[in-house]
């Protein structure tokens, strides 16, 4: 297999990729905010401590606001680096991505999970590090070939497939 393409990501694609990376953190923050609200209600009901109410609700609101603002700030900071023409080469052994700023090549054993969404191929290196390949950058035949390849790729989420 030898699939190559060149594309330029846009700000919205990068935003969706960053938000996808932050999804576990979002669940954690929203859970913590919910726990703070419950603890606040218990504090008022049991001890009538209204100072705790103000502090807990302020922390919960600050966490929720930060959760929505952080991706935008990250994208604004990264935009100049990532919104560039990007050349991708995918073979059965590796994944290579290069821009005019840098070049990186990864062995498929470095990815523990590969997801396919309607818009992206999402390659997970760690829980917090992903690479997104927009399907719009590939021809329909290439998308079908990559889908078949990623389904048979040995990953941690499919241990039945042997790792070469």
Residue 64's Cβ-count burial label (10 Å; 0-12, 13-18, 19+) is middle
Over 70: is that where the pLDDT of 30 sits?
A: yes
Residue 158: what pLDDT?
A: 52
- Domain 2-9+83-152 carries which CATH code? 2.30.29.30
For residues 49 and 117, the model is more confident at 117
What's the whole-model pTM score?
0.67
At 54 the pLDDT is 77
> In the predicted model, is pLDDT for residue 16 greater than 70?
yes
What is the rounded average pLDDT for all residues in the chain? 81
User: How does pLDDT run across 52-89, given as a tens digit for each residue?
Assistant: 777 777 877 887 788 778 777 877 887 777 788 999 99
What is the predicted pLDDT for the residue at 163?
A: 44
Sequential DSSP letters for 54-82:
HHHHHHHHHHHHHHHHHHHHHHHHHHHHH
Element (H or E) spanning 23, and its range? Answer: helix 23-47
């Amino acid at each position: 297999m030898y699939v190559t393409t060149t594309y330029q990501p846009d700000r919205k694609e990068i935003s969706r990729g960053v938000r996808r990376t932050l999804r576990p953190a979002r669940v954690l923050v929203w859970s913590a905010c919910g726990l703070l609200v419950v603890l606040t209600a218990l504090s008022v009901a049991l001890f009538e401590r209204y100072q705790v109410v103000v502090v807990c609700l302020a922390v919960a609101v600050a966490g929720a606001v930060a959760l929505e603002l952080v991706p935008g700030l990250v994208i604004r900071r990264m935009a100049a680096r990532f919104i560039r023409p990007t050349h991708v080469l995918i073979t059965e052994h590796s994944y290579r991505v290069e821009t005019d700023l840098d070049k990186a090549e990864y062995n498929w054993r470095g990815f523990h999970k590969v997801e396919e969404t309607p818009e992206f191929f999402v390659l997970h290196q760690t829980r917090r590090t992903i690479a997104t390949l927009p399907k719009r950058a590939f021809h329909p035949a290439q998308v079908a070939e990559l889908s078949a390849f990623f389904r048979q790729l040995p990953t941690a989420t499919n241990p039945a497939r042997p790792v070469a």
